[in-house]
Amino acid sequence: MSVPIALGRCHYYRTVCGLPCHVDESGRIALTIGGRVRAVTTPDGLGKVMREFLSARSLVGPVVSHRSRRYTFLTGYSPEAEESSLYARALLRTNSQIVPPLAIVALPGPVDDAYRRWVVPARDVYLPSLKTVLDALVECAG
């Protein structure tokens, strides 16, 4: 990926979408999880159902599809959701996880479609709460 193009895209993600990202040494756009931003990863089949569920309720936020056949839902912070045993069981049962703080999520760049792409692009600062996405996971997995 061309670093100047990646820098431009990263600037857009930071300023328009409020995502704390940077361009790493390999030229990837890397989002650091923490602060107001959290993420949930799921297998892509479950992720597709969750995206439709959230879209039908006008609650879907940015979603990234990875070559590894995983979906990553970017979310806001919900401290009560991270400590719930209901969600912990559903995450374990569905091979899903809450991405831990300080972990990195690679975001789509201008030319890395073979590795990751936006299913629902980041367009503004809206992020559904972590609780909202986990409620969708429980509902769609059940």
Nearest to 29 by CA among 54, 10, 4: 10
What does the domain layout of the chain look like in residue ranges?
Answer: 3-141
Residue 75 in contact with residue 105, Cβ under 8 Å?
no
Q: How confident is the model at residue 75 (pLDDT cuts 50, 70, 90)?
A: very high
53-92 b/e (C-beta count within 10 Å ≥ 16 → b): bbeeeeebbbbbbbeeebbbbbbbbbeebbeeeebeebbe
> Which pLDDT belongs to residue 4?
73
Range of lowest pLDDT (2-11, 61-70, 73-82, 90-99): 2-11
